[in-house]
Amino acid sequence: MTRSTSALLKSWPIAPRDALPLALWDASGIAAATGGTASHAFQASGIEMDSRDVRPGDVFVALKGESMDGHRFIEQAFAQGAVAAIVDRPIDFPHVLVEDTTRALHDLAHAARERSGAVRIGITGSVGKTGMKEAIFACLDRASRGAAHRSVRSYNNHVGVPLSLARMPARARFGVFEMGMNHAGEIAPLSAHVLPHVALITTIAPAHIENLGSMEAIADEKAQIFTGLMPGGTAIIPADSEWADRLIGHARRLGHKVVTFGRSAGADVRLLDAIPSANGGSLVTADLGGAARLCFSVAEPGEHWIANALGVMAAVRAAGGDLGAAGLALAEMGGLKGRGARFQLEVPGGKALLIDESYNANPASMRATLRALGQTPAHRRIAVLGSMKELGDFAEGFHAQLAEPLIEAKIDHAILVGDEMRSLAAELGKAVANSLGFPPAFEHCETPAEAIRALGQYGLTHGDAVLVKGSNSVGLGKLVLHFTKGAP
């Protein structure tokens, strides 16, 4: 005899998580977490610190800085649908009154961390933080059927990390958090907010070397993510990095378990084979240790994404995720805006490919993406390269050294944008004069507007592939927007 639907529902097993709230926050929860006083009862679906980004149902946190005061934008926040605000003075809207709004955001972050019981993964590194954060999230979200959380955009600093924590739902099973830095001493406080169970370093490269002074100092600062790692946690380290032993030493001195990933013979998660796939990605076979092997597809193109995928799998396994679901998620991932998104442009004779890497650039990521462009089937390959910032006294040398990967990738034409790119233009000029390795034709532009005109005059045709990459402050996102309006 078939049991009725109501009987089945009544016998459905109840888990402790089912007693947790569905709303992200309510007035009493915020007041309890912050020690504040709520003016009204309310329920909220989000937390926001920028009044321009407020959506209906959000709580607006009126943060105060040296040059701005969020209290000036309270009316705008409520006009956009905020249900309440966290403030340090009474207002004529629903609010929670606290002594210090920044401290309140930190308190809210810590309360969110403690109430959920989610397995937390922290990610830092010179290159690939956001891409690997999104990949790990996609893998865990698929396995947990939507119960994973992550920091959005590049919210990876002293404000973005606590905000991302405060947004973590009580019912989350996994939380993935990106941590970035510009100066020494910034990673440890971020790790202390997150208290990760798994801490992953993507790679060590000369990003922000202007402020840190040396590669050793960069490696040491990135390793500070291990200071917040929970007891019994796992430190995941790139085995192929020349700084691997230094990073491992930091982790082991703190008593953490270490898992390495890469191509190196001694890596715990080791690449066995990688075959290019038809869609531009790779079919990867990895040794997970012992007799365990895993074969999976990676949709993202480029050799750097093969290494990234090994780190992703190491993190998913350390977090207790499902490796089968992770493989499916990696096979379906697409590029992110400014970090590998691909567009098909309508051009004379057919279509051209534009690869948007306009959000960030440093010497390591430049070489990786130029290598990937060189492996991309194309009629012609064009590189629009913007200056790499925060390299200090090393800038001239690092920019000039990009001549080698440009030539190796057999780039047909390069458009160089920004003052720092003059040293690369000079180096390519020497190569042209000496006929070394068939260097690309090139031109130098001062601004994105000039680069837009230069690429337009060069003229794209069917089968071309265009890479756009530079530090975000150069503004090459404007060039991407100009050429991709309406593009899929």
For residue 8, being part of any structural domain is answered with: no
CATH for 231: 3.40.1190.10
pLDDT tens digits, one per residue of 158-170: 999 999 999 999 9
- 89 is a domain residue: yes
Both tokens assigned to 246:
């230094």
Q: Of the residues 73, 100, 127, which one is the last residue of a structural domain?
A: 100
Same domain, yes or no: 167 and 259: yes
What does the pLDDT look like over 9-43, one tens digit per residue? 666 666 666 666 789 999 999 999 999 999 999 99
Share of the chain above pLDDT 90, in %: 80
Q: Clarify whether residues 438 and 382 are in a common domain.
A: yes
Q: Show the 3-state SS of the chain.
A: CCCCHHHHHHCCCCCHHHHCCCCCEEHHHHHHHHCCEECCCCEECEEECCHHHCCCCEEEECCECCCCEHHHHHHHHHHCCCCEEEECCCCCCCEEECCCHHHHHHHHHHHHHHHHCCEEEEEECCCCHHHHHHHHHHHHHHHHCCCEEECCCCCCCCCHHHHHHHCCCCCCCEEEEECCCCCCCCHHHHHHHHCCCEEEECCCCCCCHHHHCCHHHHHHHHHHHHHHCCCCCEEEEECCCCCHHHHHHHHHHCCCEEEEEECCCCCCEEEEEEEECCCCCEEEEEEEECCEEEEEEECCCCHHHHHHHHHHHHHHHHCCCCHHHHHHHHHHCCCECCEEEEEEEEECCEEEEEEEECCCCCHHHHHHHHHHHHCCCCCCEEEEEECCCCCHHHHHHHHHCCHHHHHHCCCCEEEEECHHHHHHHHHHHHHHHHCCCCCCEEEEECCHHHHHHHHHHHCCCCCCEEEEECCHHHCCHHHHHHHHCCCC
pLDDT recorded at residue 8: 63
Residues 37 and 61 both lie in one domain: yes
Mean pLDDT of the region 417-439: 85
Asked whether residue 355 falls in the same domain as residue 463, the answer is: yes
Give residue 265's pLDDT band: very low, low, confident or very high (50, 70, 90).
very high
Q: Is the pLDDT of residue 1 over 70?
A: no
> Span 352-370, mean pLDDT?
92
Asked whether residue 48 carries a pLDDT value surpassing 50, the answer given is yes
pLDDT band at 464 (very low <50, low <70, confident <90, very high): very high
Residue 37 lies in a domain: yes
Asked if residue 327 belongs to a domain, the reply is yes
Give the pLDDT confidence of 273-299 residue by residue, as tens digits.
999 887 779 999 999 987 789 999 999
Residues 321 and 452 in one domain: no
pLDDT of residue 434: 66
On whether both 347 and 442 belong to a single domain, the answer is yes
Tell me: do 181 and 215 sit in the same domain. yes
Average pLDDT of the segment spanning 173-181: 96
Which pLDDT band holds residue 436 (cuts at 50, 70, 90)? low
Q: Looking at the domain assignment, is residue 84 inside a domain?
A: yes
In terms of domains, do 234 and 380 share one? Answer: no
Q: 303 and 190, same structural domain?
A: yes
pLDDT confidence tier of residue 236, bands split at 50, 70 and 90: very high
Residue finishing a domain among 302, 332, 362: 332
Instruction: Write the Ramachandran bin of 184: left for phi over 0, alpha for psi from -120 to 50, otherwise beta.
Output: beta
Domain count along the chain: 3
Instruction: Between 487 and 64, name the one with better pLDDT.
Output: 64
- Evaluate whether residue 45 is within a structural domain: yes
At 103, the pLDDT band (50, 70, 90 cuts) reads: very high
Name the band, by pLDDT with cuts 50, 70 and 90, for residue 431: confident
Residue 106 resides in a domain: no
User: Residue 270: what residue type?
Assistant: R
pLDDT of residue 98: 98
Q: Are residues 265 and 373 in the same domain?
A: no
- Do residues 311 and 433 share a domain? no
Final residue before a domain boundary, out of 278, 299, 332: 332
Q: What is the pTM assigned to this prediction?
A: 0.84
pLDDT for 207 beyond 50 = yes
pLDDT tens digits for range 114-157: 999 899 999 999 988 999 999 999 999 999 999 999 998 778 99
Q: In the predicted model, what is the mean pLDDT of the chain?
A: 92
**What CATH number is given to the structural domain containing 467?**
3.90.190.20
81 within some domain? yes
pLDDT tens-digit profile of 85-102?
999 999 999 999 999 999
CATH of the domain at 49: 3.40.1390.10
Range of the domain at 259: 117-332
Q: Are residues 138 and 275 in the same domain?
A: yes
Answer yes or no: is pLDDT of 2 > 90. Answer: no
Nearest one of 64, 59, 55 to 29, comparing CA atoms = 59
Average pLDDT for 375-382 = 94
State the average pLDDT over residues 6-10: 66
